[in-house]
Structure 1
C-alpha cells in the first residue's frame, strides 16, 4: 500500500502530522508493506523568493491580530508539538518561500534520502534558530541528510532543476481536491486531511488495507468513524490554531 503525503515545510501541522502519522504507522500490523511518498505543496507560492522575515509579525498581519495574540497562537501550536515529543520555537523563527526547499527534497527523493532531509528541514525550521530559507543552511542540511554537496549547490542555483516535479505534485493535489495540508492519500483510494491523532491514522491504515474501493473518498463520512474528519491544517489563508 502506498501513502502519499502532501505537505509544506512552512506548515506546523505538517510537522506535527508527520509525527502523528508515523506513530499510527508504527501501530499498523502491515507497516512493512507501506510505502510512504512525500509530495510538494506550497502554502505561499507567490511570496518573493528573497522575502524572508520573522514568523510572528507575519502571523499577526495574516490573521489581523496583535503581536501578543500571534505569540499566543504560536504557543498553542507549540504545546501540540511538544506533546508529540517535537522541538518547537514559538518565537524567533523565519518564514519565506519554500520552492527551493521542495526542489531539493525532490533531489533527495531521487537519491533515496527524502525522509532524512524532510526531518532535518522540519527540525531546522521549527526547532532551531537557523533559517532553512537561507540557501547556505539548506545546502548544509541537505549534505547532512546524505546528499552530495556539489550536486545540492547545483540544484539550488538552477531554478529549473526539479521545478517540473514540484509543479506536478501541486497539480495532483489540486486534482484530488486538496487545498490545505497536510493531506494524506492512502493507495489513491482514501483521503485524510489534517494532523489527526495517531490512533486515527492507525484506524485509517487498517480500513484502507481491508476495504479497497475504486474512487478516492474522505474517510470519516460514516457516523462514528473518526478517520478523515477535520483535522488541523495549513492553507493559503493560514494555519488553524486549536481551541
Structure 2
C-alpha cells in the first residue's frame, strides 16, 4: 500500500507531521508493506531564488504582527515539535523559495535516498544553524543523505533538472483538492490534512488497509496543524480520532 505525503521543507507542521506519521506507522502491523512517497508542494512559489528573510521578520511583515507576536507563533509550533522529540530553533531561521530543494528531493527519489535527504534537510532547517537556501549547504546535506556531490551540484546548477517533476506533484495536489500541507494520501482512498496526532494516522492506516478495494478519496481531519498556500501556519491543532475514516 502506498502513502503519498505532500509537504514543503519550509512548513513546520510538515516537520511535526512527518514525525507523528512515523509514530503511527511504527505500530502498524503491515508497516513493512507500506511504500512512503514524498511529493512536492511550495508554500511561497512567488519568492525569488536567493531572496531570503529571517522567519520572525517574515511572519511579522506578512501578517502585520509585532516581532514579539511572531515569536509567540513560532513558540507554539516549537512546543509541539519538542513534544515529538524534535529539535526546533525559534530564532535565526531563514525563509526562502524551496523549489531547488524539491528538485534535489526528486533526484534523491531517483537514487533511492529521498527519505534520507528529507530527514537531514528538515533537521538542518528547523533544528540546526544551517541555511537550506544555500547551494553549498544543500550539497553538503545531499552528501550526508548518501548522494553524489557532483550530481547534486549539477542538479542545483540546472534550473530545469527535475523541474517538471516538481510541477507535476503540485498539479496533482491541486487536482486532489489539497490547499494546505502536510497532506497525506493513503492508497488513493483516504486523505489526511494537517499534522494530526499519531493515533489518527494509525487508525487511518488500519482502515485503509481493510478497504483497499474501495475506490475514491475520503478526507480525514481538517486543515488545522498545517500550512496553507498563503504561507500561514496554524498553531492550534485538532485531534480527530473519532471522525469517519
Shorter-chain TM-score above 0.5:
yes
Query: Which residue of structure 2 lines up, in the alignment, with residue 241 of structure 1?
Result: 235
Gaps of 5+ in 2: 238-245
- Report the equivalent of 1:203: 203
Secondary structure of the corresponding residue to residue 6 of structure 2: strand
- Give CA-to-partner distance per residue, 1:111-140, whole Å, 9 cap, x none: 000000000000000001110001110011
Q: Tell me the equivalent position of 1:96.
A: 96
TM-score (norm 2): 0.94
Q: How many equivalent residue pairs?
A: 235
| 186-195 or 233-242, which deviates more | 233-242
Instruction: Determine the structure 2 residue equivalent to 1:58.
Output: 58
1:222 is matched with: none
Whether contact under 8 Å (2:180, 2:223) holds in the other structure is no
Q: Describe how 1:145-156 pairs up with structure 2 within 5 A.
A: 145-156=145-156
Contact persistence 2:227–2:234 (CA under 8 A): yes
- Deviation beyond 4 Å, 4+ runs, structure 1: none
Q: Distance in 2 between matches of 1:190 and 1:174?
A: 16
Distance 2:187 2:34 in 1: 9
1:211 Cα shift?
1.9
Aligned to 2:158: 158
CA displacement 1:35-77 (0-9 Å, x = unmatched): 0000000001010111011000101112211000000110111
Tell me the TM-score normalized by structure 1.
0.95
C-alpha RMSD of matched pairs (Å):
0.9
Paired residues for 1:1-243 under 5 Å = 1-212=1-212, 213-219=214-220, 228-237=221-230, 238-242=232-236
